[in-house]
Amino acid sequence: MTAEGSHEPSVLVAGKRFHRDVQAAYVAGLVGVELSDAAERTFVRVSGKRGRADILLIVANEPDRMQFVVEIKSTIWERRTAARQRALLLRHLRQMQDYLDVFVDDIGRTVDSVVPALLYPQRPSDETVEQLEAIALPKGIMVLFYDDMDWRADAP
């Protein structure tokens, strides 16, 4: 099924909209950061292929020079079996690992740490969250949910 006025599938159109909304909300919550300075940054993977991180933000203030890498996914977990959830998460983790293979080389030079996260639209059941985190956290990758976030700059 395609979206009205588009040749792309409606799920792809919705996913792109979610990406733009997250990027705008994230940057709007950070005083002094322009969207172009944080969103959809291109880099070259170890394989030589080009990649694109959805949000790549470097906080270069001493003593905490951190690089945040956020990959935005429009996945709704509740619509999948446990086996399909696992397979899809592993695919997302491999994608993030491709990014980390590049960004970790900056540690000690331009940054002191790299903080990776996968961001999904909705928090699924507690059981599903536990399963996702049991796979992702040992790899050093956070799993976040947009509906849990408060992106406002005035938030406590």
Q: What whole-number distance in Å separates Cα of residue 153 and Cα of residue 61? A: 18
Is residue 3 domain-resident?
no
Q: Residue range 130-136: average pLDDT?
A: 96
Is residue 40 domain-resident?
yes
Confidence band, pLDDT 50/70/90 cuts, at residue 3: low
Q: Which of 8 and 40 is assigned the larger pLDDT?
A: 8
Instruction: Produce one character per residue of 118-148: b if its CB has 16 or more CB atoms within 10 Å, e if not.
Output: bbbbebbeeeeeebbeebbeeeebebebbee
Is residue 2 domain-resident?
no
The 10 Å Cβ neighbour count of residue 9 is 12
Widest pairwise Cα distance in the chain: 50
Q: Which domain holds residue 43?
A: 10-148
Q: Containing H/E element for 155?
A: none
Q: What whole-number distance in Å separates Cα of residue 133 and Cα of residue 123? A: 12
Is residue 60 domain-resident?
yes
Is residue 155 domain-resident?
no
Is residue 154 domain-resident?
no
What CATH number is attached to the domain comprising 57? Answer: 3.40.1350
Q: Which of 112 and 1 is assigned the larger pLDDT?
A: 112
pLDDT value at residue 141? 95
By CB neighbour count within 10 A (0-12 exposed, 13-18 middle, 19+ buried), where does 44 fall?
exposed
Split into its structural domains, the chain has a count of: 1
- The region of weakest confidence among 10-24, 56-70, 140-154 is 56-70
CA dihedral 49, 27, 146, 132 (to 10 degrees): 40
Is residue 85 domain-resident?
yes
pTM of the model: 0.77
Provide the 8-state DSSP code for 122: S
Is residue 43 domain-resident?
yes
| Closest by CA position to 44, among listed 94, 90, 103 | 103
Distances (CA, A) of 137 to 38, 59, 141: 24, 22, 5
